[in-house]
């Protein structure tokens, strides 16, 4: 166990945004909420899997909806607490702790806020090692853990609890509900025991995100290239450096959907890139050829600061670097690839690990 203070929050938010592949919600909003909660309630205890009892109930806390809406419709904080408490009441057993459902932006930081408010520990683990746009797209699903019962709440005080026959139906119904909530809501879901999470979760995610964030911060202080620092920290590959020339973005079905076009600069001068996203960056093509796809991670960074740029923040004229790096090995199992392969998202290409693309 260790304590998370304000500086930890800064580094975790930055590193989680790198792992979030453009999604997971605005990390700044989550950072401000978590920082204020820690100031009011004290630091958060971050525990490892081995520090809990096997039958302890852990419930992830997260946001759902189109991240672009967050810039105008901020979470109240109480909405997340309402969802978390409602799920515990419904299950008849108060959660022992909370955790991140994914590594990304708001959804890596919101559990810190919940842990501070409720004075409970947070588990140093998550269910993806990255961010994905749909509820069923977790490693938990491949291990048979149900996303329901699920509780959703909005800023008005409405709370919805649902149970479904499988995690695909959970996604379908939750996406409908969040539309009525104004395209953004808070939820508690995937309640599981520590015994289940020892098999199905990805341990150490929060610490990993913090290490990445610290690496970027120190690179800036030492006037080193933060883009190179990120690439080295995650074992990634530089896909492209360029200027954004067009962004086609829309909010549809509770997601940020769209494409981003770039023209190359420096070593990539004369080349073109097309980036596709659905809340998260899903595929990137350079000169018409796929350079990386899900489930590997694709991150867009400010070329000077190394700051990760979310899908809703992409703007014409930005000078950026695009890096790609390997996903967790559990995504590369048959069960993982059946759940989150490129064809599932509509891309007519088989998955090839990014390191194989760049060795060839």
CA distance 233 to 227: 10
User: Which among 267, 237, 231 is positioned nearest to 359, based on CA atoms?
Assistant: 237
Least confident residue range of 58-62, 67-71, 114-118, 178-182: 67-71
User: Which among 283, 288, 238, 239 is positioned nearest to 257, based on CA atoms?
Assistant: 283
pLDDT band at 71 (very low <50, low <70, confident <90, very high): low
Give the pLDDT of residue 359. 73
pLDDT, one tens digit per residue, over 308-340 is 999 989 999 999 999 999 999 999 999 999 999
Q: Indicate whether 293 pLDDT > 70.
A: yes
Give the pLDDT of residue 26. 75
pLDDT, one tens digit per residue, over 97-110 is 999 999 987 899 99
Which residues, including other chains, have CB under 8 Å from residue 241's CB and lie 6 or more apart? 264, 265, 266, 267, 268, 303, 319, 320, 321, 322
Q: Indicate whether 13 pLDDT > 90.
A: yes
pLDDT band at 360 (very low <50, low <70, confident <90, very high): low
Which residues, including other chains, have CB under 8 Å from residue 165's CB and lie 6 or more apart? none
What string of H, E and C letters represents the secondary structure of 51-111? HCCCCCEEEEEEEEECHHHHHCCCCCCHHHHHHHHHHHHHHCCCCCEEECCCCCHHHHHHH
pLDDT above 70: percentage of residues in the chain: 99
Which residues, including other chains, have CB under 8 Å from residue 172's CB and lie 6 or more apart? none
CA distance 63 to 101: 10
According to DSSP, the β-strands at 57-65 and 97-99 are parallel
pLDDT band at 168 (very low <50, low <70, confident <90, very high): very high
- Per the prediction, the chain carries an average pLDDT of 94
pLDDT, one tens digit per residue, over 201-232 is 999 999 999 999 999 999 999 999 999 999 99
CA distance 263 to 233: 26
On whether the CB atoms of residues 11 and 229 are closer than 8 A, the answer is: no
Tell me the HSE value of 278 on the side-chain side, using a 13 A CA sphere: 16
Q: Indicate whether 160 pLDDT > 90.
A: yes
Summarize the confidence of residues 269-287 as an average pLDDT: 96
User: Which among 174, 207, 210 is positioned nearest to 190, based on CA atoms?
Assistant: 174
The CATH classification of domain 2-205, taken from the options 3.30.300.30, 3.40.1610.10, 2.40.420.20, 3.30.70.20: 3.40.1610.10
Give the pLDDT of residue 292. 97
On whether the CB atoms of residues 128 and 40 are closer than 8 A, the answer is: no
According to DSSP, the β-strands at 125-126 and 202-203 are antiparallel
Q: Indicate whether 73 pLDDT > 80.
A: no
Enumerate the domain spans of the chain. Answer: 2-205, 230-357
pLDDT above 90: percentage of residues in the chain: 86
CA distance 7 to 206: 14
């Amino acid at each position: 166990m260790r304590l998370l203070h304000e500086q930890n929050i800064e580094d975790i938010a930055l590193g989680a945004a790198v792992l979030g592949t453009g999604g997971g919600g605005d990390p700044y909003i989550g950072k401000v909420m978590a920082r204020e909660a820690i100031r009011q309630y004290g630091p958060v205890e971050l525990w490892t899997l081995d520090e809990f009892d096997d039958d302890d109930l852990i419930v992830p806390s997260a946001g759902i909806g189109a991240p672009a809406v967050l810039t105008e419709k901020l979470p109240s904080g109480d909405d997340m607490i309402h969802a978390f408490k409602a799920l515990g009441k419904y299950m008849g057993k108060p959660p022992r702790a909370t955790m991140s459902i994914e590594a990304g932006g708001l959804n890596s930081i919101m559990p810190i806020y919940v842990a501070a408010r409720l004075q409970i520990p947070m588990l140093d683990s998550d269910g993806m090692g990255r961010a994905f746009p749909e509820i069923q797209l977790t490693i938990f699903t491949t291990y048979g853990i149900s996303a329901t019962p699920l509780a959703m709440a909005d800023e008005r005080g409405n709370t919805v609890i649902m149970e479904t026959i499988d995690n695909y139906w959970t996604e379908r119904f939750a996406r409908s509900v969040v539309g009525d909530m104004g395209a953004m809501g808070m939820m508690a879901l995937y309640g599981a025991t520590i015994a289940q999470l020892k098999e199905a979760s990805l341990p150490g995610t929060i610490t990993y995100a913090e290490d990445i964030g610290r690496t970027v911060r120190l690179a800036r202080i030492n006037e080193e290239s933060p883009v190179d620092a990120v690439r080295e920290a995650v074992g990634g590959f530089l896909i492209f450096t360029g200027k954004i020339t067009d962004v086609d973005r829309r909010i549809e079905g509770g997601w940020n959907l769209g494409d981003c076009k770039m023209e190359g600069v420096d070593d990539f001068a004369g080349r073109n890139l097309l980036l596709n996203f659905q809340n998260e960056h899903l595929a990137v093509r350079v000169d018409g050829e796929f350079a990386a796809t899900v489930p590997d991670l694709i991150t867009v960074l400010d070329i000077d600061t190394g700051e990760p740029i979310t899908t809703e923040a992409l703007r014409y004229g930005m000078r950026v670097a695009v890096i790609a790096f390997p996903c967790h090995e559990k995504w590369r199992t048959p069960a993982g690839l059946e759940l989150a392969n490129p064809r599932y998202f509509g891309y007519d290409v088989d998955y090839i690990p990014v390191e194989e693309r760049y060795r060839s």
